[in-house]
């Protein structure tokens, strides 16, 4: 989503400028090319999670805080979702339960293991 890319770039640039740091300083600390960092800040490149984490470390901010700020902004400008029909398409009647009764996805357990190991 281009809006997300743009908001992330704006948040990173705002943080960098508040610190009175140059693109060159941050790109060196993040080990990212100056041109690529510039494109990320302008919303022209979709940065990977690893790259975003590296940039945030170089800026001395938490990635989760940047993502939270972006999410707050996005929630204001994002349109409401389309209503979901109340019917179950044929063939999906045997789908696993959702909500509180649903089993936890294994990916959540793996993510917690990764965070705990970091």
The pLDDT of residue 103 = 57
How far apart are alpha carbons 13 and 42 in whole angstroms? Answer: 8
Is pLDDT at 52 greater than 90 in this prediction? yes
Least confident of 37-41, 44-48, 95-99: 95-99
pLDDT in tens, 27-38: 999 999 999 999
Residue indicated by tokens 């989760």: 64
Domains of the chain, by residue range, sit at: 2-77
Mean pLDDT of 57-73: 96
How far apart are alpha carbons 51 and 63 in whole angstroms? Answer: 10
The pLDDT of residue 86 = 75
Q: 2-77, superfamily in CATH?
A: lambda repressor-like DNA-binding domains (1.10.260.40)
Residue 23 and residue 38 in contact, taking contact as beta carbons nearer than 8 Å: yes
pTM score above 0.95:
no
**Contacts for 118 with CB less than 8 Å, ≥ 6 apart:** none
Is pLDDT at 48 greater than 60 in this prediction? yes
The pLDDT of residue 17 = 97
């Amino acid at each position: 989503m281009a809006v997300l890319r743009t908001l992330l770039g704006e948040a990173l640039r705002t943080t960098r400028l508040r610190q009175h740091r140059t693109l060159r300083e941050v790109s060196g600390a993040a080990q990212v090319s100056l041109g690529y960092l510039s494109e990320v800040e302008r919303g022209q490149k979709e940065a990977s999670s690893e790259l975003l984490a590296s940039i945030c470390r170089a800026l001395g901010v938490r990635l989760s805080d940047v993502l939270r700020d972006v999410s707050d902004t996005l929630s204001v400008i994002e349109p409401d979702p389309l209503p979901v029909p109340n019917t179950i398409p044929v063939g999906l009647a045997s789908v696993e339960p959702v909500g509180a009764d649903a089993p936890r996805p294994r990916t959540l357990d793996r993510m917690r293991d990764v965070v705990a190991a970091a």
